[in-house]
Structure 1
């Protein structure tokens, strides 16, 4: 059982060290022996099992070797108590009981030394030689003194291994908190696999149908009159199936509008689709349908397109630094999520195939027009497969074959 107060954990650990219980004393008297007052509950229980083994048909004594006893001596020396003489440790059960008592005393010492609190940042040694120190934010304290970290996934540290505790009022607390969150996010080997709880959290944003004739007609009408990004933002908020129809989501598709990323960024849309391979997110940036993709004179990226590309790079940088907190609201998202820019109309004087292909291959940013969006949702066969997924899969295959 986990606690939030280290003092309660210490009090619980001390219950096993304060001497044999009255029940243990009574049982020992019935069996014809007694305990010295400082005998721990753990050791008393082991001797009771030893003395009653024959009557209770318990398994025979397990032996131990020199290395096991030397380990007990080392732990006792570490916490400053004498180790029991080897002659007083008749079997492995008693040895394990002495170790349990020694470990409890060690945890008490370090809990009282460090006074860890929920929300503190822990600096702990690496799990493997040659790696960097680990960081974690304390979520709770286990009954044996182990510190549990925010983010789960078995993250935590034994209290005696902690190198440093950093409090919220210390100068580097914010920096180390960010580092701890990054480490938790990186430790998840399958972020794309949604749990049932994560699917339930996304349920309000789920798009449960393909684009209807009414959705498609609304898009056509908007393209006849729209002159700004805002016009298209309002349209797609009212008809989220238009965006969802560009991707394949056998197990679900979700569209979220204007999710705030920290204090600086608000993408127009974040779109997720789940297949048997897991969930994929798209970072969607809208621009005006009247904007050009290229400059009229030199066919290079227009300032509007360059700004949109930079926006997606900014969002990815924020995700890199805040991945764990982002996944609380956007489960499975990664800093490498594909970007999608929708802007302009198809125009023979505004050819951007080379620019589009380069950004797709090098930056995983797809650049499309609103005419493309209309095509993506008009064809029933294409809509079922997701035109954006079809196109990007082909590019990925081409890159792999190169």
Structure 2
């Protein structure tokens, strides 16, 4: 995407370039986010912190989990999928294979990954996974409609068939035991979703000085 195309993007498409990452004090930003996560009492606290302070680089740091975004990285808060669904964040990245997308769902910070009495996910984790399943079904049925959206139609010719990814951010690292990690690994393969803790998000923010 050249500079002319970037200038024509909708105002809620936030593009990050290497100089933006270099200007961040990533260590402090990661520490501040860690403090917010520790103080979080309800599901929307971290989201409120990001949006109120326009710290869009926090969700975009999730692209550290993928192998694209080196040539172009962009985040769109609260992206609407038709009239039915709304993403917490749409991430757009580009490498030599073309543009790819990550649909991001933020769930609660203060939640166990699995039930104490069974080897299955807690309600909050299942809620996030069900949301992502809904998104996947929607894209399977409405891919062309999505690619025709404002700000996306300009790059639609350069999106590979495998260019859709899904990410769930939920819980804390110290509330995921060995069985939780096993369940998480199985689900990532079954559903095709990246599942990470808020602590992993802090890690990625701390690494942003190297870019995506």
TM-score by length of 1: 0.43
Say whether the 8 Å CA contact 1:268–1:286 is kept in structure 2. Answer: yes
1:207 aligned onto 2:16: yes
Contact 1:206–1:253 (Cα < 8 Å) also in 2: yes
Cα gap change, 1:376 to 1:233, in 2 (>3 Å): same
Task: Trace 1:225-240 onto structure 2 (pairs within 5 A).
Answer: 225-237=39-51, 238-240=54-56
Residues 1:207 and 1:196: Cα distance change in structure 2 (over 3 Å): closer
Contact 2:100–2:163 (CA<8 Å) still a contact in 1?
no
Q: How many residues align?
A: 191
Given that 1:251 and 1:274 are in contact with CA atoms closer than 8 Å, whether structure 2 keeps it comes out as yes
For 1:284 and 1:385, how far apart are their aligned partners in 2? Answer: 19
CA contact (8 A) 1:289 1:345 kept: yes
Task: Name stretches of at least 5 consecutive residues in structure 1 with no aligned partner.
Answer: 1-193, 387-402
The aligned residue for residue 384 of structure 1 is 210
Query: Which segments of 5 or more consecutive residues in structure 2 lack a partner in the other structure?
Result: none
State the distance in 2 between where 1:346 and 1:327 align: 35
- 1:286–1:341 Cα contact (<8 Å) kept: yes
Give the deviation of 1:202 after TM superposition: 6.0
- Counterpart of 2:81? 261
Q: Is residue 255–residue 270 contact of structure 1 (8 Å, CA) maintained in 2?
A: yes
Cα distance, 1:377 vs structure 2: 2.1
The structure where strand makes up a greater share of residues is 2
Q: Which structure would you say has the larger RCO, counting Cα contacts within 8 Å and 6 or more residues apart?
A: 2
Residue equivalent to 2:58: 242
Counterpart of 1:324 in structure 2 is 144
Cα separation, 2, equivalents of 1:240 and 1:348? 26
Compute the TM-score of the two structures, normalised by the length of structure 2.
0.78
Whole-Å Cα distance in 2 between the matches of residues 197 and 262 of structure 1? 27
C-alpha separation in 2, matches of 1:287 and 1:343: 5
Please list the CA deviations of residues 235-285 of structure 1 after superposition, one character each: whole Å capped at 9, or x if unmatched. 233211122223252211111111111222111111111112211111100
Q: State the distance in 1 between where 2:118 and 2:211 align.
A: 36
SS of 2:86's equivalent in the other structure is coil
What is the distance in 2 between the residues matched to 1:268 and 1:291? Answer: 19
Residue 206 of structure 1: how far off its partner (Å): 0.8
CA distance in 2, matches of 1:294, 1:272: 31
What do residues 185-234 of structure 1 show as CA deviations (whole Å, max 9, x unaligned)?
xxxxxxxxx68876542674212322533532331221121122211112
Q: CA deviation at 1:287?
A: 0.7
1:336 and 1:313 map into 2 onto residues whose CA distance is 16
